Amino acid sequence: NAAKGVIPDADQHHNVDGSWNTDYWGIPINQTDMIATHLQFSLLIMRGLRLLGARISGEEAEGILHLWNLASYWMGVDLQRLPKDEAACWEWLYTYLSVQQLDFKMGQPLAKALHDLPRQLMGEDNRRGRFVEMVNASVTRTLVGDDIGDGLDLPKSKIRFGVLSSVPILFALDTARQHNQSVAEKLEAFRSKRQDNMNWWLKKNDDYYK
């Protein structure tokens, strides 16, 4: 009964106005898996950041979930199916996972695509792209463990042993950000500059960013 109403049987979504481009996008994924993806990129990312020392306030958490609610809506998710708050998100996710079978073979192509993305954007011989890939894989292995990391065929890197050393630094900076406006402004300026540097490929190849 726990899953009843939360996990419908392959409930396929189609846009009411018929705008879904099946020839290009293929058949829409069922609503349940789309919501699970939403929670992986919102709820679980927040959990990972907190484990790494980030102090995410209730208001910030609400904003992150709202952002991904919008993204999910644009991708065809029925808003009425989305959990309403962080506690409801955890309840939904645990219910979903209780009826799922772990299949690493299904997850490996997506894991590889996400892992390879930095060098695809920056160039195969780009050192910065390789470094970003290793950092991402190290953070993932640190958070999910080697059993899942090996199952997803993620590379092992010595960088991972430095991941936990960043926890007190991030915790201290985030604490200062919440209590000192000057520190918050400097960190925001640094974040904005870093984000702008990361968007160099988009600014070069995407008219929206030019």
Q: What is the tens place of the pLDDT at every residue in 29-41?
A: 688 888 998 998 8
Q: Looking at per-residue confidence, does 13 or 78 come out higher? A: 78
Q: Which pLDDT does position 8 carry in this prediction?
A: 43
Q: Closest by alpha carbon to 126, among 25, 191, 200, 190?
A: 200
Is pLDDT of 2 > 60? no
Residue 209 C-alpha from the chain's centroid: 22
Rounded mean pLDDT of 192-204?
74
The H-or-E segment that residue 42 falls in is none
Please check whether residue 140 is in contact with residue 149, taking contact to mean a CB–CB distance below 8 angstroms. Answer: yes
Rounded mean pLDDT of 184-208?
79
The three-class DSSP label of residue 205 is helix
Is pLDDT of 18 > 70? no
Q: Looking at per-residue confidence, does 112 or 20 come out higher? A: 112
Is pLDDT of 209 > 70? no
Residues of the chain above pLDDT 70, percent:
83
Polymer length in residues for the chain: 210
For 46-105, write each residue's pLDDT tens digit.
998 898 888 998 999 999 999 999 988 888 888 889 998 999 999 999 999 888 877 788
How is residue 6 written in tokens?
């939360």
How is residue 167 written in tokens?
């926890």
- pLDDT averaged over every residue in the chain: 80
Q: Looking at per-residue confidence, does 145 or 22 come out higher? A: 145
Q: Which pLDDT does position 14 carry in this prediction?
A: 47
Residues 174, 167: Cα–Cα separation, whole Å: 11
Residues 203, 196: Cα–Cα separation, whole Å: 9
Q: Which pLDDT does position 93 carry in this prediction?
A: 92
